[in-house]
Amino acid sequence: MASYDVMPDVQLYQPAEMDDALELADRFGRDGWILGGGQDTYGWLKDRAKHPKAMIDLNGIEALRGVRKSDDGIEIGAVTTLREIIRNETVNAEYELLALAAGRVASPQIRNVGTLGGNLSQDARCWYYRRGLACYRAGGNICYADSPQGMNREHAVFGASRCVAVSPSDTAIAMVALDATMVVQSVDGERLVPAERFFVGPATHITKMTSMRPGEILTAVRIPSTWAGARFYFEKVADRDVWDFALVSIAAAMQVDNGTIGDSRIVCGGVACTPHRLRDAEKALAGKSLSDETAEFVAPLASRGAKPLNYNHFKLPLLENLLRRAVRG
Amino acid sequence: MNPNLSRRRFIKAVIASGAAAATHAGMPSALAAGAADDATKGGVERLMSLNINGKIRRVDVLPQETLAYTLRYKLGLTGTKIGCNRGECGACTVLVDDIPNYSCSTLTHSVRSRGVLTVEGLQAPDGTLHPVQQAFIDELAPQCGFCTPGQAMAAVGLLKDNPNPTREQARQALSGNLCRCGAYDNYLNGVMRAAGGKA
């Protein structure tokens, strides 16, 4: 497929008020493209793989920017850049897991403009899909990755359904671990979606990564104080430390008292189409100490039920090892 | 953001609808009406003012145009290189309000009313090289030189934010810039030299 130096013809709207953005999103529906930092946008357009009629740039809307304290935790506007999140005092003091995750996204220049909302709503990185092929995710009826010759080293080991692409977002697993709530607005009003239900797998919506509908805009993320100051662990394994998406990543939030683990939320990226919670491990960890013995005890639970493809068996020991490292104390 | 712009409501904020933007650019109203018709079809070229290297440049910019394209092909500032054109190499790095950005992945319309600094703007008016440029020469940092403008802008961006970085901080700051020659250590030596250390 040809690659182009220039962007295709597409309109650009830069509303300064939220109401105007919502009206535009409603008017354009499926033909509208909500623009944050644009780092998961321009490639699609330059490759002529997606064809929106208009980009609706949210960066001029001041209300969507910044980290605010709320009654119970914090609220982060959707166009807050990853750079701002990494440098934010409150985030670092109480929700360091998010700062660690945001700090591992792509490259410095991308973090400088990439937004939290954009990182959370980014599309799958399966190269067959990105190349504009008519696969299941693009509305077709074949999966090129899950075929005898398909290259699926980066693909899913859990939760595949026809499509085997994985969730590429580093901040998504932190959001599920922190039990965040997404604030989604449209001209019809506002709805609150728990992070776990915000991300959807191919069995639910094969052409979408999130539960967002045309005309809706992700405006903010609310993080409750439940996990503020908890013990956090974040690690992302990728081929290169910069740019590359996670082969496997882990975000863990654990309430630890005197070395003993209470409640925990442990979420992995790069292994399923959505952030993948290790619920069995979370249950098994309750009441255990942070130690090498605990690590050995829970590690096998991480890969239980996995269905690797031809080239991604290596993700299973990687997953188990990341869980070990998260709880070995 | 331009405070005037942020107060403009709906249609006025719609930059692709020619009327508002054209009025903003001081075009006669008859022309503006024609532009509005074009806008609904999606392809309208428009005038805007850009602050590039401290100078105000007037330029026609398509709604979807990237900053790298505007700089190179409309303003003749070819010091900014286009390598991958996908935000994956760093050759096109420029500073927008002192923060490094990939200009290939930035819409020109998103930097109106902001300050853009390219490699052409680094040297002093009398031709003296910027300390980062001089340090790159002293440390023999460039080999083929294609990535050098981007490396220089990333380094200048770092030093504006943190005048005394550690070598590790410099490594992080330049990690978004590829060098096919593999001269990374030389660039790092250059950054540390420019920061005042002796590399």
A108: nearest CA partner in chain B: B176
The CATH homologous superfamily to which domain A227-327 belongs is CO dehydrogenase flavoprotein, C-terminal domain (3.30.390.50)
CA dist., res. A81 & res. A37, Å (int)? 8
Query: B64–A8: do the CB atoms touch at under 8 Å?
Result: yes
pLDDT higher than threshold 70 for residue B1: no
Instruction: Using an 8 Å CB-CB cutoff, list chain B residues near A243.
Output: 88, 176
Q: What is the pLDDT of residues A217-259, one digit of tens each?
A: 999 999 999 999 999 999 999 999 999 999 999 999 999 999 9
Tokens of A41: 């946008």
Nearest neighbour of B105 by CB, restricted to A15, A42, A242: A42
Nearest neighbour of B175 by CB, restricted to A11, A23, A108: A108
pLDDT higher than threshold 90 for residue B41: no
CA dist., res. A39 & res. A19, Å (int)? 24
User: What are the residue boundaries of the structural domains of chain A, listed by start?
Assistant: 62-121+166-226, 227-327
Tokens of B129: 């090289």
When pLDDT is averaged across residues A92-97 and rounded to a whole number, the result is 98
User: What are the residue boundaries of the structural domains of chain B, listed by start?
Assistant: 1-44, 48-118, 131-194
Q: What is the pLDDT of residues A270-282, one digit of tens each?
A: 999 999 999 999 9
pLDDT higher than threshold 60 for residue B82: yes
Q: What is the pLDDT of residues A177-221, one digit of tens each?
A: 999 999 999 999 999 999 999 999 999 999 999 999 999 999 999
DSSP string over B91-148 = TTEEEETTEEEEGGGSBGGGGTTSEEE-GGGSS-TTSPPPHHHHHHHHTT--SS-TTH
CA dist., res. B99 & res. A112, Å (int)? 7
The CATH homologous superfamily to which domain B48-118 belongs is Beta-grasp domain (3.10.20.30)
Query: B105–A38: do the CB atoms touch at under 8 Å?
Result: yes
Instruction: Using an 8 Å CB-CB cutoff, list chain B residues near A23.
Output: 10
Query: A16–B107: do the CB atoms touch at under 8 Å?
Result: no
Note whether A62-121+166-226 and A227-327 share their fold. Answer: no
Work out the minimum CA distance from B128 to partner chain A, whole angstroms.
27
DSSP symbol at A11:
E
Query: A39–B6: do the CB atoms touch at under 8 Å?
Result: no
Query: CB-hemisphere CA count at 13 Å for B12?
Result: 10
Which of B64, B88, B159 is the best residue to mutate to test the A interface, defined by the most A CB atoms within 10 Å of its own CB? Answer: B64
Interface list for chain B against chain A, based on CB atoms closer than 8 Å: 1, 5-10, 13-16, 39, 42-43, 62-66, 69, 82, 85-88, 90, 93, 99-102, 104-107, 109-110, 154, 172-173, 175-176
Nearest neighbour of A43 by CB, restricted to B62, B86, B172: B86
Q: What is the pLDDT of residues A153-165, one digit of tens each?
A: 999 999 999 999 9
Tokens of B19: 């009327």
| Helix, coil or strand: residue A35 | strand
Fold of B131-194: DNA polymerase; domain 1 (1.10.150)
Where would I find the H helices in A54-149? 82-87, 89-94, 96-102, 108-113, 116-120, 127-130
Nearest neighbour of A39 by CB, restricted to B13, B87, B90: B87
Please tell me the least confidently modeled range out of B8-17, B135-144, B181-190: B8-17
When pLDDT is averaged across residues B159-175 and rounded to a whole number, the result is 97
Work out the minimum CA distance from B150 to partner chain A, whole angstroms.
11
When pLDDT is averaged across residues B144-155 and rounded to a whole number, the result is 98
Query: A16–B13: do the CB atoms touch at under 8 Å?
Result: yes
Which of A7, A84, A107 is the best residue to mutate to test the B interface, defined by the most B CB atoms within 10 Å of its own CB? Answer: A107
Instruction: Using an 8 Å CB-CB cutoff, list chain A residues near B99.
Output: 83, 112
CA dist., res. B110 & res. B80, Å (int)? 18
ipTM summary value: 0.94
Query: B42–A53: do the CB atoms touch at under 8 Å?
Result: yes
What pLDDT sits at residue B3? Answer: 44
Query: A242–B5: do the CB atoms touch at under 8 Å?
Result: no
Query: B6–A62: do the CB atoms touch at under 8 Å?
Result: yes
Nearest neighbour of A12 by CB, restricted to B10, B107, B176: B107
B106: nearest CA partner in chain A: A38
Work out the minimum CA distance from A329 to partner chain B, whole angstroms.
27
A62: nearest CA partner in chain B: B6
* Class of CATH domain A62-121+166-226: alpha beta
